[in-house]
Amino acid sequence: MTIQRFDTGARMSQAVLHGGFAFLAGQVAEDAPGTSVTEQTANILARIDALLHRIGSRRENILSATIWLADIAGFAEMNAVWDAWVPQGHAPARATVEARLAAPQFAVEIGIVAAVA
């Protein structure tokens, strides 16, 4: 059994590969804390793109996404960025919920499971 871990810290890894699947840690807008839902979502999706590329996957391979919003009122704002980012015909299974996030400067967090070719 082969398990690969990327950017492993004391608490978590940013990505774990096993059995043809990639499990990404929940991503937050580390480069845009405290900004709008639109800006945070765009920052997170860019981070996800970079992580997928690094592990040998891509947007079209995303199987599942979980999105947490600090305030569900930002749902439409987040969806506008998400809808422009997801390749047509490749929408993953997805859940979006309102939840208190780990730090108040973050409005959005996104977790991804993807296939690795």
Helices 37-55 & 75-85, crossing angle to 10 degrees?
A: 40
Residues 68, 46, 80, 65, CA torsion sign: negative
- Report the distance separating Cα 51 and Cα 59, nearest Å: 10
Query: Thinking of the domain 3-115, which architecture would CATH place it in?
Result: 2-Layer Sandwich (3.30)
Q: Helix (H, G, I), strand (E, B), or coil: what is residue 69?
A: strand
Q: Which pLDDT score, from 0 to 100, does residue 80 have?
A: 98
- The continuous run of DSSP H or E covering 53 comes out as helix 37-55
Cα distance between residue 80 and residue 77, in whole Å = 5
Angle in degrees, CA 80, 55, 27, rounded to 5: 40
Tell me the two tokens of residue 91. Answer: 């929408």
First-to-final CA distance of the chain: 17
Beta-carbon count within 10 A of 99 CB:
12
pTM for the whole structure: 0.96
Q: What is the pLDDT of residue 4?
A: 97
Q: What is the pLDDT of residues 5-50, one digit of tens each?
A: 999 999 999 999 999 999 999 999 999 999 999 999 999 999 999 9
pLDDT digits (tens, 9 = 90+) for 48-104: 999 999 999 999 999 999 999 999 999 999 999 999 999 999 999 999 999 999 999
- The confidence band for 1, taking pLDDT boundaries of 50, 70 and 90, is confident
Which are the contacts of 48, defined by CB distance < 8 A and separation ≥ 6? 24, 27, 110, 112
Kindly list the domain boundaries of the chain, sorted by start residue: 3-115
Does the pLDDT value for residue 117 go beyond 90? no
